[in-house]
A and B are shown apart, each in its own frame.
Chain A
Amino acid sequence: MGHRILIVEDSPTMRQLLVFALRRLHGVEIVEAQDGMDGLRKISGEPFDIALVDINMPVMDGLKLISLIRGDDALQDVPIVVITTEGAGEDRDRALKLGANEYLSKPIQANKVLSVVKGLLKID
Chain B
Amino acid sequence: MSERDSQSASRAEDFLSLFKKGADFTRELLQENERLRSQLVSLNDRQESAARNPADWGKLRRELMERIASLEEECTTVRERLDQVELENSQFAQRYVEVEEENNNLANLYVSSYQLHSTLDLDEVVKIIMEIVINLIGAEVFAIYLIEGDDSQLTPVASEGREMSEFPGATLGEGALGKAAAASESTCWDAVGSGDLSHPIVCVPLVVQGRPIGAIAVYSLLSQKDGFSALDHELFNMLGGHAATALFAAKLYSQSERKLNTIQGFIDLLTK
Contact = CB atoms under 8 A, between A and B. Distances in A.
B128 A110 contact: no
A26 B225 CA distance: 31
Q: Is the contact region of chain B dominated by helix, strand, or loop, or is it mixed?
A: helix
Interface in B192-223: 222-223
B225 to A, nearest CB: 7
Contacts of B132: 13
A111 B104 contact: yes
A3 B153 CA distance: 53
A87 B223 contact: yes
Contacts of A44: none
B128 A13 contact: yes
A16 B131 CA distance: 12
B112 interface: yes
Interface residues of B, number: 23
A107 B111 contact: no
B174 to A, nearest CB: 32
A110 B104 contact: yes
B104 A14 contact: no
Interface in A74-117: 85-88, 105-111
Interface string B75-101: 000000000000000000000000011
A76 B135 CA distance: 29
Contact of B111 (A16, A88, A106): A16
Given A20-B111, A110-B107, A111-B100, A11 B131 contact: yes
B223 A13 contact: no
Given A13-B115, A111-B100, A111-B104, A106 B223 contact: no
Contacts, number: 59
B165 interface: no
A14 B135 contact: yes
A81 to B, nearest CB: 16
A12 interface: yes
Contact of B222 (A11, A14, A17, A86): A86
B143 interface: no
A120 interface: no
A106 B104 contact: no
Nearest to B139: A107
B224 A105 contact: yes
B108 interface: yes
Closest 4 CB pairs of A and B: A87-B224, A107-B138, A110-B104, A20-B107
23 contacts: A11-B131, A12-B115, A12-B118, A12-B128, A13-B136, A14-B131, A17-B107, A17-B136, A20-B107, A21-B107, A85-B222, A86-B222, A87-B224, A105-B224, A106-B138, A107-B134, A107-B136, A107-B138, A107-B222, A107-B225, A108-B135, A109-B104, A111-B104
Given A12-B118, A13-B112, 15 more contacts: A11-B135, A13-B132, A16-B115, A17-B135, A17-B136, A20-B107, A20-B111, A85-B134, A85-B222, A87-B223, A105-B222, A105-B224, A106-B135, A106-B222, A110-B107
